[in-house]
Amino acid sequence: MLISLVVPCFNEEEILGCFHTRVTEQMTRLGHDFQLVYVDDGSADRTLPVLEELAATDPRTRYLSFSRNFGKEAAMLAGLQHADGDAVVIMDADLQHPPELIGRMLEEHAHGYDQVIARRTRRGDRLTRTLGARAYYWLINRLVDVELVDGVGDFRLLSRRTVDAVLELTEYNRFSKGLFAWVGFPTTTFGYENAVREQGSSAWTFGKLLNYGLDGLLSFNNKPLRAALYLGMVLMSVALVYAAWIVGFALMKGVDTPGYVTLIVVVTALAGVQMVIVGVVGEYVGRIYYEVKRRPHFLVKAGNTAVPNQQAREFVRR
Ligand code: UDP
Ligand code: MG
């Protein structure tokens, strides 16, 4: 059995050597054939030269380098496309996904599970991020129809058929957490203590997290549109009742004109609600816009893997 390890890397020059050694040791101990598929996501540092060096010294190393930063989702997609293992493990380059867990994953896989997910605790995270995550998952699980779990990330083992199924989903807006959940197949989860990042820094800023969260909410189904519809209906009923009350009052007691404040509040509140709803609709239109363009998910500028790739033309100077 061949195991592929897919590793997206963005500015990871400091840790890649250490990562490679630890993973190689671990895999050798487990005694499986393996290959490493590194995807350099347009790093600005020496990640690419480091990968070239690793590939030169270790023939089990494959690598690809994007023409610019296309994001981790694109990097994972590229990695999955270029992995030909019977099982694929996706892991981060920063050693926050302990290589020691691969053994456990393979064990569970041998018991017949197609997806083996390592779920991290939130130890070492800032309180704001932990609370934010909790609120987010509470909300998102009400708005999408696949089940998303807090702490479940991209660190997981996928069987060949799961990888093939994920690659069938060629949408442009990729939200892998959701895609993996959508694909289904027998899945099992186990927990691990979150490791604190050893070197470099997380590329996630608050803004990026927020955008990622919105992507998750909107790129998956149209429940937010449905929610907008219900909100509109509720507001309309309230407005109708209120109007009836005003008219009735005027008929019985005659017209008088206080209520300027109420009027302004209602007008601005409704304008706000409408903007939000138009925004939600706009988000979906925007997504359609990107989907119909059919642009490739990424462009490759260098690499040592020549697996045919229908979705993205590769601009490798050989
Ligand atoms: N990464 C990537 N492209 C990006 C950002 C991150 O390929 O635009 C990679 C990064 O090199 C790492 C993994 O995705 O291997 C997770 O990133 P990071 O550690 O910054 O995120 P966190 O662990 O904070 O979720
Ligand atoms: Mg990390």
- 239 with 157, same domain: the answer is no
Nearest to 304 by CA among 10, 69, 107, 63: 63
Closest ligand 1 atom number to CA of residue 153: 25
Q: What is the pLDDT of residue 310?
A: 45
**Which among 78, 100, 17, 26 is positioned nearest to 52, based on CA atoms?**
17
Question: Which atom of ligand 1 has the smallest separation from the CA of 75?
Answer: 7
Residue 311 has a pLDDT of 46
Predicted pLDDT at 318: 45
98/182 same-domain check = yes
Find the ligand nearest to 154 CA.
1
* Model pLDDT, residue 198: 63
How far does the centroid of ligand 1 lie from the alpha carbon of residue 73, in Å?
Answer: 10
The reported pLDDT for the residue numbered 316 is 55
Can you give the C-alpha Rg of the chain in angstroms? 25
Task: Please tell me the predicted confidence (pLDDT) of residue 24.
Answer: 92
pLDDT given at position 116: 93
Residue 315's pLDDT is what?
55
Distance CA 44, CA 39 (A): 14
| Mutational pocket test of ligand 1: of 11, 22, 41, 80, the residue with most ligand atoms within 8 Å of the beta carbon | 41
| Domain annotation covers residue 229 | yes
- Residue pair 130/122 in contact by the 8 Å Cβ criterion: yes
Taking 50 as the pLDDT cut, the residues of the chain under it are: 308-312, 318
Nearest protein Cα to ligand 1, atom 19: 202
Do residues 179 and 242 share a domain? no
Q: What is the dihedral of CA 193, 153, 227, 172, to 10 degrees?
A: 170
Residue 9 in any domain: the answer is: yes
The pLDDT, as a whole number, for residue 124 is 67
**CA-proximal residue: ligand 1, atom 8 (nearest):** 71
Residues near ligand 1 (Cβ within 6 A)? 8-10, 12, 41, 69, 71-72, 75, 92-94, 96, 202-204
Domain assignment present for 216: no
Residue 275 amino acid letter: M
Strand 87-90 with 152-159, pairing: antiparallel
The answer to whether residue 276 is domain-embedded is: yes
Residues 130 and 85 in one domain: yes
Dist CA 318 CA 91 (whole Å): 28
Q: Are residues 91 and 115 in the same domain?
A: yes
Give the model's pLDDT for residue 146. 73
Same domain, 189 and 67: yes
Number of domains in the chain: 2
Q: Ligand 1 mean position to 9 CA, how many Å?
A: 7
Q: Which domain holds residue 259?
A: 223-293
Residues 74 and 171 in one domain: yes
pLDDT at 234: 85
Strands (E), 102-185: 115-120, 152-159
Task: Looking at the CA of residue 11, tell me the nearest atom of ligand 1.
Answer: 11
Q: What CATH number corresponds to the domain at position 30? A: 3.90.550.10
pLDDT value of residue 200: 62
Residues 123 and 265 in one domain: no
Determine the distance separating the centroid of ligand 1 and the alpha carbon of 92, expressed in angstroms: 7
Question: How many CB atoms lie under 10 A from the CB of residue 241?
Answer: 10
Q: Identify whether residues 184 and 60 lie together within a single domain.
A: yes
In this structure, the number of other CB atoms found within 10 A of the CB of residue 111 comes to 9
